[in-house]
Structure 1
Amino acid sequence: MSLEPLLAHIDPEGDIAPVDRWDPPLSGEMDLVIAADGRWIHEGVVFTRPRLIRLLSTILRRDADGDYYLVSPQEKWRIHVEDRPFLVVDAEQQNTNWTLTTNVGDRVMLDASHSFSLSKTPSGVVVPEVPVRFGLSARLNRNVYYHLVERAESREQDGDVELGLLSGEHWHPLGRLGVDAS
């Protein structure tokens, strides 16, 4: 099957499929990996077409079992995600609010429902992530992280200094610096 006719109708800012309302039976496992660096790899071959990645990202969800699936009304295929399925590749500030853009084209405003949380990467480094949709989250890309840290405010929190941003009238932590008591 050729994906060309379908891809021709995909808008880079297009709609996301209602995968949260679809409940097909598990069809099996697909040899598809979303690498920690954002690459999509099928049967050992890296996808090089951004529109194909965008298409697949619109039918991706994470279920309560913690696994990731590509879902259609009739099929559900388990895939492997090394860390988080998306990366934040850009951050823009407008007035007091920040909007983040992922590597697959999602745009999320930092607010109470889309707030940073700190978690460890597979290599053990603590890096912020932000929820995007359907149980999916995006890890901050290194350059975006440094961009945000340059504009961060600091607050004392439980004996540590916490760096973060205020956006959507909500505090978004970027990380903590231990305070030396000596």
Structure 2
Amino acid sequence: MPYEPPPELAGLSLSEIAALAQSRRLPPLDQWNPAHSGESHMRITADGGWLHEGSPITRPAMVRAFASLLLRDADGQHWLVTPHERLAIAVDDAALVAIDMEVRHDPTNGQAVLAFRLNTDDVVLCGPDHPLRVAGTAELPAFYLAVRHGIEARLNRSTYGQLIAHALEVSPAADQPHGLMVESRGARFPLVPAP
């Protein structure tokens, strides 16, 4: 059966976006305790490209499948996990890339909801369970969204631009004592790296 990518976020309501975020069935990595560890000979580049022994993995379905098996441990090591083994994978920056963002408002409470689409077609709703963090410097910030199992997605340049445009629209920097901030699902996220 051919893969049907989800529709563009811009044309969806909040309830449709939330349904997309919940619809992806993921393996229970946190319940698996594989006995064998090894090396995958795979690398994820800073721009989200996947390589195996230096050669690009060009099939999007394979990338989506591998991404569903990823976790990052407390030491920052990324692993591909199955019930029988875990294989180390090198990650240059973040394992995933956020490639689009939409803002919706929850009709039940009026709260803003920031929805992100990833390069794997996952949809993640930013909030307390999926926080946004900023790293780098004020001159060169980098934005990351928590996805699952310690894995993060780095916002690409256009998605970063969408986030900043939204922040300027809802709370100009002059109104914030600590710089720009955004809110999503009741949580506040500063957009300026800590000094």
Letter in 2 for 1:44: G
Shift of 1:172: 1.8
What does residue 37 of structure 2 align with? Answer: 27
Deviations 1:62-121 (A, max 9, x none): 112321111100111111001110111110111221111111122111112222111239
Task: Pick the aligned partner of 1:138 from 109, 129, 153.
Answer: 153
The answer to whether the 8 Å contact 1:10/1:55 transfers is no
Q: 1:82 to 1:19 in 2, by over 3 A?
A: same
Query: Partners in 1 of 2:70 and 2:47 — Cα distance?
Result: 17
Query: Partners in 2 of 1:14 and 1:177 — Cα distance?
Result: 34
Task: Pick the aligned partner of 2:48 from 34, 38, 53.
Answer: 38
Q: Does 1:126 align with 2:141?
A: yes
The structure in which a higher percent of residues are helix is 2
TM-score (norm. length: structure 1): 0.82
What does residue 109 of structure 2 align with? Answer: none
Q: Does 1:98 align with 2:108?
A: no
Q: Does 1:167 align with 2:177?
A: no
Letter in 1 for 2:155: L
Shift of 1:59: 0.7
Q: 1:120 to 1:90 in 2, by over 3 A?
A: same
Q: Does 1:48 align with 2:58?
A: yes
Q: Does 1:109 align with 2:138?
A: no
Letter in 1 for 2:55: V
The structure in which a higher percent of residues are strand is 1
Alignment of 1:52-91 (within 5 A): 52-91=62-101
The answer to whether the 8 Å contact 1:149/1:164 transfers is no
Q: Secondary structure at the match of 1:156?
A: coil
Q: Gaps spanning 5+ residues in structure 2: where?
A: 6-22, 106-111
Q: Secondary structure at the match of 1:175?
A: coil
Task: Pick the aligned partner of 1:14 from 12, 15, 24.
Answer: 24
Letter in 1 for 2:120: V
Q: 1:138 to 1:150 in 2, by over 3 A?
A: same
Deviations 1:150-180 (A, max 9, x none): 11123112xxxx21212111112222699xx
Shift of 1:49: 1.0
TM-score (norm. length: structure 2): 0.77
